Structure 1
Amino acid sequence: MDETFFAERIASLRNQKNVSAREMSLAIGQNASYINRIENHRALPSMQCFFYICEYLGVTPSEFFDTSNPNPEKISRILQELSSCNEKQLNTILLVIENFKKN
């Protein structure tokens, strides 16, 4: 992993959240250009800032590094919602997902 990975992953997750680099920088308590500097390969976050970034993006550090999951925030939200469904609802949702995958 290098700064290219951080730059691309942060940009991707930030864009999914539909926020600007400036807005995100300020929201995590940094100067307005902080995320822009990371995305332009001019800086890497400290460990503490990395945790703030993950929290802001709604992902765990593990999900941040899991490039096989391009939408970790949405998957987490879906799993949270599914945990409150009963068996019949889960079966229905599973059928819907299976039908989506067939098409």
Structure 2
Amino acid sequence: MDEIEKNIEYGKEFVRHRITELRLKTGISEYQMSLELGQNKSYIQSISSGKAMPSMAGFLNICDYFDITPIEFFDTSIQEPNLLNDLIKTIETLPKADLELILKIVERLKKD
């Protein structure tokens, strides 16, 4: 197996495991997720087992389902992408003085 094939296999495995991880975090079954995505009942199970991969449109629908961006899908260092997105949406509308205050609070919490 050459380097390109290894990278492709790694990518497929990552996608399978990441979907499973996100699904388990939300407490949703493969069956329920499949149906909520408008797919047949074994759609997610076939991805998780490695029998299939989502199309690009399917991948984007999965990201939308989890309310995350494709970048957040691949960045596993973000522990709670949904919570982080909610926080960002909430603070985006605050005035500059409040944003500066929140930044100071976060920096103080980070020191502890």
TM-score (norm 1): 0.82
Which deviates more from structure 2 when the two are superposed, residues 87-96 or residues 37-46?
A: 87-96
1:2 is aligned to 11
Distance 2:60 2:82 in 1: 15
Q: Which stretches of structure 1, 4 residues or more, deviate above 6 A after TM superposition?
A: none
1:32 to 16, 28, 41: 41
1:58 is aligned to 67
Q: 1:18-29 to 2 correspondence within 5 Å? A: 18-29=27-38
Figure out how many residues of one structure are paired with residues of the other and give that number.
Answer: 103
Q: Which has the higher contact order (CA 8 A, sep 6+)?
A: 1
Letter in 1 for 2:92: S
Compute the displacement of 1:47 (Å): 1.4
Gaps of 5+ in 1: none
SS at match of 1:70: coil
Compute the displacement of 1:29 (Å): 0.7
For residues 27-63 of structure 1, the C-alpha deviation after alignment (integer angstroms, 9 at most, x for no partner) is: 1111222112212222211112111111111112222
- CA distance 1:78–1:39, change in 2 (3 Å): same
- CA distance 1:96–1:16, change in 2 (3 Å): farther
2:106 is aligned to 97
Distance 1:39 1:102 in 2: 39
1:76 is aligned to 85
- The percentage of counterpart residues that share the same residue type is 38
